[in-house]
Structure 1
Amino acid sequence: MIKFFLMVNKQGQTRLSRYYEHVEINKRTMLEAEVIKNCLSRSKDQNEMAVYELIHNFVEVLDKYFSRVSELDVSFSIMFNLDRVHIILDEMVLNGCIVETNRNRILAPLFVLDKVAES
């Protein structure tokens, strides 16, 4: 079961966090700092293939949704569209379990929101 999802840049700054169980804010900060420290300093990757697949799929979905944005602007697009990124993640993971991997199904609610916003 996935306890939380954390997206961090190479400088160790949190860009996205989503928790699937209650963790107090002050404990989140300490937990995120510890995870970031361990990930940035590790010498060998010991994650399971399923987690790699989830991360890969998440990145592909972000790429598909933000396809009209250049690679240099993707980080800013994510930062300024966190609501959209959270919707994507929520479509993929529910209560810590992977529930959807199909990109079209994941993005369907966002495309509906985008159409409504354009109207």
Structure 2
Amino acid sequence: MINFVLLISRQGKVRLTKWYSPYSQKERSKVIRELSGLILTRAPKLCNFVEWRGFKVVYRRYASLYFCMCINAEDNELEVLEIIHHFVEILDRYFGSVCELDLIFNFHKAYYILDEILLAGELQESSKKNVARLIAAQDSLVEAAKEESSSITNIIAQAAK
């Protein structure tokens, strides 16, 4: 089971967090501080697995972001590396060569994509096509809601004249 997901920039800024296990706000801050210090200082040639507090943290760097997932000690690290890569491929496909700014300005879409892939810390959907189809459906719903909202606003504005 995945306990949490962190996306951290090279400068140590947190870009996305998703917690699947209960942590208080104080514990979350401590976890982020510890792991960012631990992962950002590791040499690039070291393996992508770190033992931490009886868990394993699996991470991978893509451009300026570290994608980190904390798993139980007995879970398969290579499977989690594949999940990270799967998430990045879907982000790439959606944003067209995803970068840190895409995640900063469209964090809600990044969370939505992550929620389509993982459910309660377990892999939910492994098909990139299904995830892309679900994201496109969500985007069309958002666009329809925006159009409906703007048409209601126009009707109210005309009635007020």
Fold match (TM-score > 0.5): yes
- Write out per-residue CA displacement over residues 18-57 of structure 1, whole angstroms, 9 at most, x where no aligned residue: 0001211121011011111111123421532112111111
* CA distance, structure 2, for counterparts of residue 46 and residue 116 of structure 1: 38
2:47 pairs, out of 42, 45, 48, with 45
> Does residue 143 of structure 2 align to residue 118 of structure 1?
yes
- Write out per-residue CA displacement over residues 68-112 of structure 1, whole angstroms, 9 at most, x where no aligned residue: xx66xx322211211111111111111111121211212222211
TM-score, normalised to structure 2, is 0.65
- Specify the alignment match of 2:108 in structure 1: 83
1:29 alignment partner AA: S
- Higher-Rg structure is 2
Which structure would you say has the larger RCO, counting Cα contacts within 8 Å and 6 or more residues apart? Answer: 1
Q: What is the count of residue pairs matched by the alignment?
A: 115
- Specify the alignment match of 2:34 in structure 1: 34
- Specify the alignment match of 1:11 in structure 2: 11
1:35 alignment partner AA: L
Normalized per residue, the structure richer in strand is 2
Correspondence 1:68-107 to 2 at 5 A: 74-107=99-132
Query: Which structure 1 segments of 5+ residues have no match?
Result: none
* CA distance, structure 2, for counterparts of residue 40 and residue 9 of structure 1: 9
Query: Which structure 2 segments of 5+ residues have no match?
Result: 50-76, 145-161
> Does residue 87 of structure 2 align to residue 61 of structure 1?
no
* CA distance, structure 1, for counterparts of residue 142 and residue 18 of structure 2: 25
* CA distance, structure 1, for counterparts of residue 42 and residue 133 of structure 2: 37
> Does residue 15 of structure 2 align to residue 23 of structure 1?
no
Higher alpha-carbon deviation: 100-109 or 82-91: 100-109
2:110 alignment partner AA: V
TM-score, normalised to structure 1, is 0.86
Normalized per residue, the structure richer in helix is 1
Identity among equivalent positions (%) equals 32
